[in-house]
């Protein structure tokens, strides 16, 4: 055990993770970095909602892992990636919890983007079943 604090979400610090029914597309410099119909929306306390995108739907070839790390007592240890094409602005633009705490275990295998380090994180309506 690392000795880092582990906190459980509750009424004083709620966290919910839900499937986002929208298509989520992340772009930088005219390129699609991520495109998914399987995003998870994490809502934590009073913070803005964050879209966690499955790693399989992120173009990993455009990323570079960094040695930057952070710790959240509610979620665990985060690892970071930069998007070299975005230059200094896109340094450590993406974070992921490779071994999240049990309360948010479903974000494992997902990546999240800082909105100010990419050009856009769009939520597009998904077509209803039967519509083309």
Q: What pLDDT was estimated at residue 3? A: 79
Query: How far is it, in rounded angstroms, from Cα 56 to Cα 35?
Result: 10
User: What is the per-residue pLDDT for 74?
Assistant: 97
The whole-number mean pLDDT for each consecutive block of 10 residues of the chain, a chain of 132 residues, reads 82 96 97 98 97 98 98 97 97 98 97 98 79 51
pLDDT at residue 126, rounded to an integer: 78
What's the 3-state SS for the chain?
Answer: CCCCCCCCCECCECEEEEECCCEEEEEECCEEEEEECCCEEEEECCCCCEEEEEHHHECHHHCEEEEEEEEECCCEEEEEEECHHHHHHHCCCEEECCCCCHHHHHHCCEEEECHHHCCEEEEECCCCCCCC
Distance, in Å, from the CA atom of 48 to the CA atom of 86, rounded to the nearest integer, reads 23
Please name the residue that has the structure tokens 């948010």: 104
Residue 4's pLDDT is 86
């Amino acid at each position: 055990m690392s000795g880092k604090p582990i906190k459980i979400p509750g009424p004083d610090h709620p966290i919910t993770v839900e499937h986002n029914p929208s298509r989520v597309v992340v772009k930088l410099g005219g390129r699609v970095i991520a495109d998914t119909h399987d995003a998870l929306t994490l809502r934590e306390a009073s913070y803005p909602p964050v879209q966690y995108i499955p790693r399989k739907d992120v173009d990993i070839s455009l990323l570079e892992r960094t040695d930057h790390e952070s710790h959240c007592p509610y979620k665990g240890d985060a690892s970071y990636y930069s998007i070299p094409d975005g230059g200094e602005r896109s340094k450590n633009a993406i974070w992921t919890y490779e071994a999240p705490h049990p309360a948010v275990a479903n974000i494992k295998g997902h990546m999240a983007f800082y909105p100010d380090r990419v050009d856009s994180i769009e939520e597009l309506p998904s077509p209803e079943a039967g519509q083309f």
